[in-house]
Amino acid sequence: MGKIAFMGAGSTIFAKNVLGDVMSTPSLCDSEIALYDIDHKRLNESEVILNNINNNSNNGRAKITAYLDRKEALRGAKYVVNAIQVGGYEPSTVIDFEIPKKYGLRQTIGDTLGIGGIFRALRTIPVLFDFAKDMEEVCPDAWFLNYTNPMAALTGAMLRGTSIKTVGLCHSVQVCADHLLKGLEMKTDNLQWKIAGINHMAWLLEISRNGEDLYPEIKKRALEREAPHHDMVRYEIMKRFGYYVTESSEHNAEYMPYFIKDKYPELIEKFNIPLDEYPRRCIAQIKGWEQMGKDLVNNKNIEHKRTTEYASYIMEAMETNIPYKIGGNVLNAGLITNLPKDAVVEVPCLVDRSGVTPCYIGELPPQLAALNRTNINTQLLTLEAALTGKKEHIYHAALLDPHTSAELSIDDIISLCDDLIEAHGDWLPKFV
């Protein structure tokens, strides 16, 4: 086994899960693991924790090294896992949430679509292009496994703007069916399901058990579930459009124009929508890490059991040539025939020694494709802004964003974009 580089290794819990999975996999357990992060304290903490897992769960077989030099971390890698967050909680996430509030625009997560997703993409894509430039020099044949949001825009940037083999990976596909059924107190054994669409708005197109379609019972139980819960937006989408969506209610509330509306504040309570959810999580995680980090770093007996994250299964399939199916984010190129060819779609993919081979889906139900296209418009225009350096495409992306355009006037959207460009300063490239 060769070298795995982890970019953003200061995301300690995620690095622990992905690289712990690697060390728990027989065909990968003797890998050389390169850790890189610009936060040297968190990088060091991750190195200590992973070495302890290596010693306790892997007999020390992996070689783990933290790097301060990015190019050296990448040199000779077969796989590069990306989990960076450019700008962090402060200043960038705070800016993404607080400035739109001045215009009356509220968000929940702000990392995938909407005004927050647009600006997160614009400050992240140049960094990924720097990674790609290094990779083209020191590991041109490596696979880039992208976990960073906004998934579609960033994966599209790598696929359209570089020569690096890239697939985007999310957590929501593999847990979607189980989560839906558990919430409805239905059994989760012997399931067969099919999911396709775009990241965070992919659709559970089919779900059955032993040949029996489960959707009629799912919809019946969903209508009967009256007490407030965290899936209410998704249930409403399923009620109106016919299918369950992969990503959480707090995410999808801001991908559509129906739920977060200044004119109808009662919708927030009706659908149990957690405004400003991502900043709250960030504050809690930062505070919690003060103690959790100490506990993990000081736990010399820490062990790991393999998770459901796709990364290690992808590497295992490529190394052993034993096929494995994932839900991957790839360039459409005709896979879903009623979505744009240059969009990034989330579809079943077969992984083996040949790489990642996406599966043909054909047409989505027309109402689902229509919803996807509203998001794709903003994703493609955000990418256009990043590739061309033209400010006008930032405006276009925001003007066509479903939630932003439902709440603000054209003049306010332009003004908001200008304020965000100024506030982010050097975290963004220069646009003309």
Helix (H, G, I), strand (E, B) or coil at 151: helix
CB 29 within 8 A of CB 315: no
Smallest CA-to-CA distance from 316 within 308, 325, 324 is with: 324
Give the separation between CA 377 and CA 403, rounded to whole angstroms. Answer: 13
How far apart CA 325 and CA 104 sit, in angstroms, is 43
Rg (CA), the chain: 21
CB neighbour list of residue 394: distance below 8 Å, 6 or more residues apart: 118, 122, 382, 385, 417, 421, 431
Please check whether residue 274 is in contact with residue 267, taking contact to mean a CB–CB distance below 8 angstroms: no
Find the catalytic residue in 171, 179, 393, 403.
171
Q: Which amino acid is residue 110, in one-letter code?
A: G
Instruction: Give me the helices (H) in 192-231, please.
Output: 215-224
The pair phi, psi for residue 36, each rounded to 5°, is: -140, 135
Determine the residue type at 146: N
**Catalytic status, residue 171:** yes
Residue 200 in tokens: 């965070």
CB-based contact 78:72 (threshold 8 Å): no
Give CA–CA dist 126/388, Å, rounded.
Answer: 12
Angstrom distance (rounded) from CA 12 to CA 358: 31
Among 206, 219, 161, which residue's Cα sits nearest to residue 344?
A: 161
What DSSP character marks residue 210?
A: T
Catalytically annotated residues: 171
